[in-house]
Amino acid sequence: MDYNQLSFQLAAVTRHAGQFIRQEAATFDRGRVETKGLHDLVSYVDKETEKLLVAGLRELLPEAGFITEEGTEGAVQADEYNWIIDPLDGTTNFVHGLPCYSVSVALMHHQELVAGVVYEVNRDECFRAAIGSGAFCNEIPIHVSDIPELGGSLVATGFPYYQFGQLPSYLQLLGAFMERSHGVRRMGSAAVDLAYVAAGRFESFFEFNLNSYDVAAGILLVREAGGRVTQFLEDGDPIFGRELVASNGHIHQEMQDTIREFWQVKA
């Protein structure tokens, strides 16, 4: 299969879904928001966008299954190929009218990521990657930055929505990165954070309590742009491992060493 060509087609499907989100943002009714948890929101826009994506992706690769956030009816996993979908990464930003949210879709062949797109709706930036073919933003090649040390880096992170038992360790870690880097930013969309690492805008991103649909496409973007993605303290599985650190590669050891100082590994 030509994964590079497939990623072009995936970008078109993802852009179409993003256009729907953009249209809905203009007249969005906050009264139609559902609450999964105090900090975890879902809207009709998430659900309808996912339905659009599932329909478009079925036409693109009929044999593929789905790993989805909103559980669209009939979207079930398959044995060989699976689409990993986050229809609206950054729902809280969207609900509050804050411009940073995205559509994130990746294709996984068995356990390997082979194509991925992150479409940031507000800036109309489509980040695309296919295994072995590099990474692009609006079809311009992108690469991770060449900053050689943490001291010259801009670091991105996300805040946990639930399971706050590790919050003390996280706050210590956050303080350390504030002191040791150019600064820490929290955009509110893990998919965008990873795309920005791939584009050299951030040197690194770390977060815990993540889901596969938050990060799958972004992981491939970073890798194809020349960066590195692991779990916090080891290589592990950053797709399903619930935590990750992504970087330009040059500062990865410093990132992991800093995390190791403060992070409490769950028993």
pLDDT by residue (tens digit) across 110-131? Answer: 999 999 999 999 999 999 999 9
| Whether 120 and 189 share a structural domain | no
Is there a domain that residue 94 lies in?
yes
Query: Burial of 75 by CB count in 10 Å (0-12 exposed, 13-18 middle, 19+ buried)?
Result: buried
CATH number, domain containing residue 125: 3.30.540.10
Q: Could you tell me if 122 and 191 lie in one domain?
A: no
For residues 105-110, give the mean pLDDT. 98
pLDDT in tens, 5-27: 999 999 999 999 999 999 988 88
**What pLDDT, on a 0 to 100 scale, did the predictor assign at position 35?**
61
pTM score > 0.85 for this model? yes
Q: Are residues 47 and 69 in the same domain?
A: yes
Same domain flag for 254 and 138 = no
Q: Is residue 267 situated within a structural domain? A: no
Rounded percentage of the chain residues whose pLDDT exceeds 70: 93
**pLDDT for residue 206 is more than 70:** yes
- Please tell me the total number of residues recorded for the chain in this structure: 267
On whether residue 18 sits in a domain, the answer given is yes
* Structural domain range at position 17: 3-142
Determine the Cα–Cα distance for residues 48 and 73; give it in Å rounded to an integer: 12
One domain for residues 36 and 95: yes
Strands (E), 73-202: 81-89, 102-109, 112-120, 125-130, 135-137, 140-142, 154-157, 183-185
What SS3 state is found at 47?
A: helix
Name the phi and psi angles at 120, rounded to 5. Answer: -85, 115
In total, how many domains does the chain have?
A: 2
- What is the pLDDT averaged over residues 80-93? 95
What's the mean per-residue pLDDT of the chain?
Answer: 92
Q: Which of 124, 142, 160 is the last residue of a domain?
A: 142
Report the pLDDT averaged over residues 82-100. Answer: 94
For residues 155 and 136, state if they share a domain: no
Q: What is the pLDDT of residue 58?
A: 95
Q: Taking 70 as the threshold, does the pLDDT of residue 86 lie above it?
A: yes
pLDDT of residue 74: 77
Q: Going by C-beta distance under 8 Å and a sequence separation of 6 or more, which residues neighbour residue 39?
A: 92, 161, 162
Q: Is 136 helix (H, G, I), strand (E, B) or coil?
A: strand
**Which among 191, 21, 10 has a CA at the least distance from the CA of 108?**
10
200 inside domain: yes
My answer on whether 154 and 229 are in the same domain is yes
User: Is 33 inside any structural domain?
Assistant: yes
Mean pLDDT across 161-172: 81
Q: Which of 75, 110, 142 is the last residue of a domain?
A: 142
- 126 with 175, same domain: the answer is no
pLDDT on residue 223? 98
Same domain, 96 and 219: no
Task: Write the CATH number for 205.
Answer: 3.40.190.80
